[in-house]
């Protein structure tokens, strides 16, 4: 694997991102592997918003990982700005090679640089390996995560 | 208790909001009961942002509950926009009177109206009563929540 680099996604990256999102045993039933209108519209709503981005890890010219990084000003904890991470994915053929660790560390660096005092995420209860991964990165499993479809 | 009404907070509501945030056995050590500069700056960063608001419940002229409601466009789940709820509080003397339920239902209504397909939140592991409250509102406890201080 070539050295990793990191950047914010543009519209041209959508096919690679959507393929990464779908290549997951838990998420595969709720994603499509091709770029449908829903993804295009959602990306247009994200793009250009200062608080919301898809962060990519690249090795050479190949996109090998992604995550969504959101900065949210908030009043709680004496006005602590939060970074929220969603949709962490690493290409199947590169898992176990620290791509995810490097990508998360870059997200944490950006969160600090952006003035965040807290970074948070939720992970499906079934993702035991992911939970270990986040604990190794210094995350504390202090909360339970609730979701409700609308 | 007078009938409840709901509205987005303005700067003038900060003293009431900050008092609500601090009146909580888990959060009291990380908040201040008075409006320090950190809260003022954080509120200024929230105010005017179309995606981020403090929603208030009022009874008569008294603020009796609050929560933060954030809308986040995202690619996952075929481009589903998410609503994220944080910092849910009800005035101590009015707990158990369905203020929280009404406030959450208003947040869910606003999330639907804003085009969100999912609403999510995390709750400290120790808040057993809150977990029951969220399940009664139709939330599924499907995730674990991780946080890391920066």
The pLDDT of residue A131: 96
The pLDDT of residue A63: 97
CA distance A112 to A103: 14
Put simply, whether B74 touches A (Cβ < 8 Å) is yes
Strand partners, B147: A120, A140
Are the Cβ atoms of B52 and A39 closer than 8 angstroms? no
Model confidence over A116-149: pLDDT tens digits? 999 999 999 999 999 999 999 999 999 999 999 9
Model confidence over A1-17: pLDDT tens digits? 789 999 999 999 999 99
Residue A29's pLDDT band (cuts 50, 70, 90): confident
Under DSSP, the state recorded for A110 is H
Under DSSP, the state recorded for A11 is G
Can you give the three-state secondary structure of chain B, one letter per residue? CCCEEEEECCHHHHHHHHHHHHCCCCCHHHCCCCCCHHHHHHHHHHCCCCCEEEEEEEECCEEEEEEEEEEECCCHHHHCCEEEEEEEEECHHHCCCCHHHHHHHHHHHHHHHCCCCEEEEEEECCCHHHHHHHHHCCCEEEEEEEEEEC
pLDDT over 90 percentage in chain A: 84
User: Token pair of A145, please?
Assistant: 């995560």
Are the Cβ atoms of B76 and A21 closer than 8 angstroms? yes
Which residues of A fall within a CB distance of 8 Å from B51?
49, 51
- Find where tokens 């600090």 sit: A112
Collapse the DSSP code of A106 into the 3-class scheme (helix H, G, I; strand E, B; otherwise coil) and give the result.
helix
Which residues of A fall within a CB distance of 8 Å from B72?
52, 70, 84, 86
The pLDDT of residue B25: 81
The pLDDT of residue A18: 95
- Find where tokens 């105010």 sit: B47
**Residue from the list B18, B45, B123 with its beta carbon closest to the beta carbon of A73:** B45
Are the Cβ atoms of A76 and B68 closer than 8 angstroms? yes
- Tell me, what's the ipTM? 0.94
Tens-digit pLDDT string for chain B (150 aa): 789 999 999 999 999 999 999 988 888 788 887 889 999 999 999 997 889 999 999 999 899 999 999 999 999 999 999 999 999 999 999 998 999 999 999 999 999 999 999 999 999 999 999 999 999 999 999 999 999 999
**Residue from the list A45, A78, A131 with its beta carbon closest to the beta carbon of B73:** A45
Testing the interface with B: which of A40, A145, A149 to mutate, by most B Cβ within 10 A? A145
Residue A65 backbone dihedrals phi, psi, to 5 degrees: -170, 160
- Provide the residue count of chain B: 150
Q: Around Cβ B90, how many Cβ atoms within 10 Å?
A: 23
Which residues of B fall within a CB distance of 8 Å from A40?
79
Are the Cβ atoms of B150 and A38 closer than 8 angstroms? no
The pLDDT of residue B40: 95
**Residue from the list B39, B74, B124 with its beta carbon closest to the beta carbon of A143:** B124
Model confidence over A39-58: pLDDT tens digits? 999 999 999 788 999 999 99
Put simply, whether B54 touches A (Cβ < 8 Å) is yes
Strand A118-124 and strand A62-72: pairing?
Answer: unpaired
Are the Cβ atoms of A78 and B39 closer than 8 angstroms? yes
């Amino acid at each position: 694997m070539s050295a990793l680099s990191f950047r914010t996604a543009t519209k041209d990256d959508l096919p690679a991102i959507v393929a990464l999102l779908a290549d997951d045993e838990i998420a595969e039933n709720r994603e499509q592997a091709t770029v449908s209108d829903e993804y295009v519209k959602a990306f247009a709503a994200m793009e250009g918003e200062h608080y919301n981005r898809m962060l990519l890890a690249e090795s050479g010219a190949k996109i090998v990982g992604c995550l969504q990084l959101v900065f949210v000003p908030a009043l709680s904890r004496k006005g602590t700005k939060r970074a929220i991470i969603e949709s962490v994915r690493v290409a199947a053929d590169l898992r176990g090679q620290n791509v995810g660790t490097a990508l998360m560390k870059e997200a944490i660096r950006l969160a600090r640089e952006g003035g965040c005092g807290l970074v948070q995420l939720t992970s499906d209860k079934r993702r035991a390996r992911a939970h270990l991964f986040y604990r190794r990165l210094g995350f504390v499993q202090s909360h339970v995560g609730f979701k409700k479809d609308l």
